[in-house]
Amino acid sequence: MVTLKLKKSPAPQESVGPKRPARGSSAPRHRPTLAEAQAARAERAERERALAEPPSREPGRPDARWDHRSAAGSTPRDDGPRRAAPPERAAPHDRTRPEGPPRGEAQRSAMQRGNMQRSAIQEQTPRPRHGPGPERGPGPARGPASATQPQPLPQQPPAGSAQGERLSKRMTTLGLASRREADEWIEAGWVKVDGRLAVLGQRVGPDAQIWIDPAAHRQQAQRVTILLHKPIGYVSGQAEDGHEPAAVLIRRENQWAEDRSGLRWHPGHLRSLAPAGRLDIDSTGLLVLTQDGRIARQLIGDESLVEKEYLVRVRYTREGSLPDADLALLNHGLSLDDHVLRPAKVSWANEDQLRFVLREGRKRQIRRMCEAVGLEVLALKRVRIGSVPLGHLPPGQWRYLRRDEFFA
């Protein structure tokens, strides 16, 4: 028979001196067991690994990995293998902390709140733009520009823009030159607008200051105007239907001997010489050819009111004589090509000649007016333009317009 002896455990020895109470508590300090130490180390390793992972790069948006875990009320789950803690190493004493979420989760929550605050500030603060470019998205309305910010200078309208009137036309309207002359002067650098050199095709406003170089006026003064007594068989302008232009008669030998202008024929006088008006091929009388665009515009411009006088020999093609009512109709009331003619002065010069004084010159106007009232034109001669008469100038000869002669 075996007798068991129970060994009585010795009583705990009391430590010498007073006991050191635990920090923050009056209870004796608890020494964790090996299992508790391993669990604490695993939890710290889990938190350190989570903190080592970078947060979400998108500002103002928390990391999605923590959103669903926080909503579920659980700690992050790691699917990878856990590193085992050394079994023989004792865990350090765990210091008592205030109650709350683990330190890793608290730090992540603070980071998320900071990101959201920075995102809100960025959305409220307009980003400076460097240079022109399209807007990247709707943003807050911008206030007025600072008074110290430089303002853009107003752009000048380029030459040929749709603003204003063409410079050459303005010069013609002002009586400075013809369209052709104006373009020649601009191209030669003889024209300035508001102190700046003009260019071809430039447009000007109503208050533009136009300056002309004196050289242009000197050249203009040297341009000549020729008075020709055009005979039958010559056309006024370009050659047509085998008929020569009247300009071929402007030769040295055809200058009228009684020309008192003091000018003598020069080949340069034929340059840019153009007819200012027309006479039909079967009409005679005074024809003006000029190098001066101002005179051409004065005689044949749309607004010209210079009188032109004709002697017209006619024959009445109906019974009796021309009624007074038809004579009155020749003075005013006829229309050509759906255009009401301007009032004219028509009267009998002798038994078979009518005197016409017109202020316009439509194609074959006198012949068509006469046909409208039953008159046939047998001969037509122009004897005056403005205040310049044909006089005794013989057919086929010419003379220069004197400096004391003016058409209006």
| Cβ burial 93-111 (10 Å sphere, 16+ → b, else e) | eeeeeeeeeeebbeebeeb
Residue 63 within a domain: no
Contact 295, 225 (CB under 8 A): yes
Q: Which of 283, 288, 251 is nearest to 267 (CA)?
A: 251
In sequence order, what are the beta bridge partners of 310?
356, 382
Please indicate, yes or no, whether residues 276 and 395 belong to a single structural domain of this protein: yes
Q: Which of 407, 382, 405, 398 is nearest to 259 (CA)?
A: 398
- Quickly state the pLDDT bin for 375 (edges 50, 70, 90): very high
**Per-residue pLDDT tens over the stretch 170-203:** 998 888 887 888 898 899 899 999 999 999 999 9
Last residue of one domain, picked from the residues 201, 221, 241: 221
The model's pTM is: 0.54
Query: Catalytic annotation on 207?
Result: no
Q: Is 103 helix (H, G, I), strand (E, B) or coil?
A: helix
Which is the catalytic residue, given 280, 324, 326, 404?
280
Residue 20 within a domain: no
Please indicate, yes or no, whether residues 236 and 297 belong to a single structural domain of this protein: yes
Please indicate, yes or no, whether residues 201 and 245 belong to a single structural domain of this protein: no
Q: How many CB atoms lie within 10 A of CB 389?
A: 14
Contact 358, 310 (CB under 8 A): yes
Residue 316 within a domain: yes
Please report, for the domain that includes residue 209, its CATH number. 3.10.290.10
* 3-state SS record for 12-38: CCCCCCCCCCCCCCCCCCCCCCHHHHH
The DSSP-derived string for 316-376 is E-SSSS--HHHHHHHHTT-EETTEEPPP-EEEESSSSEEEEEES---TTHHHHHHHHTTEE
In sequence order, what are the beta bridge partners of 288?
227
Query: Which letter does DSSP use for residue 141 in this model?
Result: P
**Residue 161 confidence (pLDDT) above 50:** no
Please indicate, yes or no, whether residues 388 and 261 belong to a single structural domain of this protein: yes
pLDDT at residue number 119: 54
Please report, for the domain that includes residue 296, its CATH number. 3.30.2350.10
**Per-residue pLDDT tens over the stretch 329-350:** 999 999 998 889 999 999 999 9
Please indicate, yes or no, whether residues 230 and 290 belong to a single structural domain of this protein: yes
Residue 288 within a domain: yes
Domain count of the fold of the chain: 2
Please indicate, yes or no, whether residues 209 and 240 belong to a single structural domain of this protein: no
Residue 67 within a domain: no
Please indicate, yes or no, whether residues 395 and 271 belong to a single structural domain of this protein: yes
Residue 232 within a domain: yes
Percent of the chain with pLDDT over 70: 65
Q: Please state, in angstroms and rounded to a whole number, the distance separating the CA atoms of residues 318 and 30.
A: 149
Q: How many CB atoms lie within 10 A of CB 89?
A: 11
**Per-residue pLDDT tens over the stretch 319-334:** 999 999 999 999 999 9
pLDDT at residue number 5: 53
Return contacts of 296-299, CB within 8 angstroms, 24+ apart. Answer: 296/178, 297/172, 297/175, 297/178, 298/407, 298/408, 299/385, 299/386, 299/407
Please indicate, yes or no, whether residues 212 and 361 belong to a single structural domain of this protein: no
Residues spanned by the domain of 357? 225-400
- Quickly state the pLDDT bin for 222 (edges 50, 70, 90): confident
Residue 301 within a domain: yes
Please indicate, yes or no, whether residues 306 and 356 belong to a single structural domain of this protein: yes
In sequence order, what are the beta bridge partners of 66?
none
Please indicate, yes or no, whether residues 251 and 382 belong to a single structural domain of this protein: yes
Percent of the chain with pLDDT over 90: 42
What's the gap between Cα 105 and its chain centre?
64
Residue 84 within a domain: no
Please indicate, yes or no, whether residues 209 and 312 belong to a single structural domain of this protein: no
Contact 12, 84 (CB under 8 A): no
Last residue of one domain, picked from the residues 221, 252, 285: 221
